[in-house]
Amino acid sequence: MEENSLRIALAGNPNSGKTTLFNALTGAHHHVGNYPGVTVEKREGKRTRNGRVYDFTDLPGIYSLTAYSEDEVVSRDFILDEKPDLIIDVLDSTNLERNLYLCLQLRELGIPVVGALNMSDEAKARGIRIDEARLSATFGIKFVKITAVKGHGINDLLDKVDSAYAEAQNTTGCTGAEVLSYGADIEPWLEKIEALITRRENSRGEGAEDIRVKAEARFLAAKLLEKDKAAETRLAGGANGGEILSAAREGIEWIEKHCGKDAEIVLSERRYARIHEALKGAVHVDKAAKVSIAETFDRVVMNRFLALPIFIGILWIVFQLTFTIGAYPQDWLQS
Ligand code: GDP
Ligand code: MG
């Protein structure tokens, strides 16, 4: 790897504006190929700024890091196996709650993440005010407002990328447990499975002291408790694969009995609870914000009391028009 170059993955939900941002970042200098073995497109491009080369990869859009679809498998494998230096998570500012679900899981991987709050123009038009400094403080990563489609905020974003990367180099990094605690009932299971996975990585000489190996072990332990098939396959093959999977099965059984719900639902609820906490006070929606003409129309026409009279009124008008306007061709045809 070059001395002063950063490998950056662009991740985010579908339609959050990843490709638009990718194009704004790289201009025309990109390369389109395929990920090995699948038909999903792989786009790579570079940008040079202040003597640093940024190497971007535009990942397929995903909602979660659970490996259900081909897109999710590709994105997750890329992050786990290629280990980019940093991830830019592109978020749709008009739908932050759902978009942060992926962001939280990216953070659990122990890779530095910068949040690009995209669609800022749209959020502003809808009266959604985001206090990004506050959100950064409550969520634990840097956020930058951008409008990818107009190329706004790109330099600011790259400044934040530089500082986030520098900070990650100078600290030991953030463990998954600091990012999110799944609660006193689930944590002991995670720790147990995580320890088994780390022991396996150690025997392969992957240095368990590495913060990323630790975070990845915790991430995979959580995925096992979510009954993630790809995580099972990834871990089953190793020396203590059987031991890992049976610990996970035991954990799932206990959680489902203790919480009375599917384990994967319990884990996702804990993530959303963390997100709601982070959003508190960081996002305000102006009630008096400009409501679009379509929304005003909908509100009147769909009104509980007015809907039926309006509907009958329209039928009456159509009826009248049919006969008054219809009278002209009628007279003409008769003559
Ligand atoms: P991807 O699926 O994440 O790659 O999303 P795209 O880059 O294809 O963008 C999805 C749609 O959002 C496109 O129609 C873009 O033009 C639009 N879009 C992207 N960025 C912005 C933005 O900052 N503001 C607005 N209003 N639209 C945007
Ligand atoms: Mg795209």
Q: How high is the pLDDT of residue 293?
A: 67
Q: Name the burial class of residue 76, with classes exposed (0-12), middle (13-18) and buried (19+) by CB atoms within 10 angstroms of its CB.
A: buried
Q: How high is the pLDDT of residue 269?
A: 96
With the most atoms of ligand 1 within 8 angstroms of its CB, the residue from 18, 20, 91, 103 to mutate is 20
Dump pLDDT digits (tens) for 26-57: 986 677 777 777 777 788 999 999 999 999 99
Q: How high is the pLDDT of residue 67?
A: 75
The pTM is what?
Answer: 0.82
Question: Which ligand is closest in space to the CA of residue 11?
Answer: 1
CA 273 to centroid of ligand 1, rounded, Å: 28
- Nearest-angstrom CA–CA distance, 91 and 122: 12
Ligand 1: lining residues by beta carbon, under 6 Å: 12, 14-20, 61, 118-119, 121-122, 147-149
CA 80 to centroid of ligand 2, rounded, Å: 20
* Residue with CA nearest ligand 1 atom 24: 119
What is the pLDDT confidence band of residue 61, given thresholds at 50, 70 and 90?
A: very high
- The protein residues having their C-beta less than 5 angstroms from ligand 2 (an ion) are 18-19
CA 293 to centroid of ligand 2, rounded, Å: 30
Question: Which ligand is closest in space to the CA of residue 60?
Answer: 2
- Nearest-angstrom CA–CA distance, 18 and 146: 12
Range in 154-168, 233-247, 254-268 the model is least confident about: 233-247
- Above 60 in pLDDT, residue 207? no
Token code pair at residue 172:
């030991």
164 and 141 in contact (C-beta within 8 Å)? yes
SS percent in the chain: helix, strand, coil, step 5: 55, 15, 25
Dump pLDDT digits (tens) for 70-82: 888 889 889 888 8
Share of the chain above pLDDT 90, in %: 59
Which distant-in-sequence residues (6+ apart) come within 8 Å of 176 by Cβ? 108, 109, 110, 214, 215, 218, 219, 222
- Nearest-angstrom CA–CA distance, 111 and 37: 25
Ligand 1 atom closest to the CA of 14, numbered from 1: 2
CA 76 to centroid of ligand 2, rounded, Å: 16
CA 22 to centroid of ligand 2, rounded, Å: 9
Instruction: Name the E strands within 85-232.
Output: 86-92, 113-118, 128-130, 142-145
CA 60 to centroid of ligand 2, rounded, Å: 7
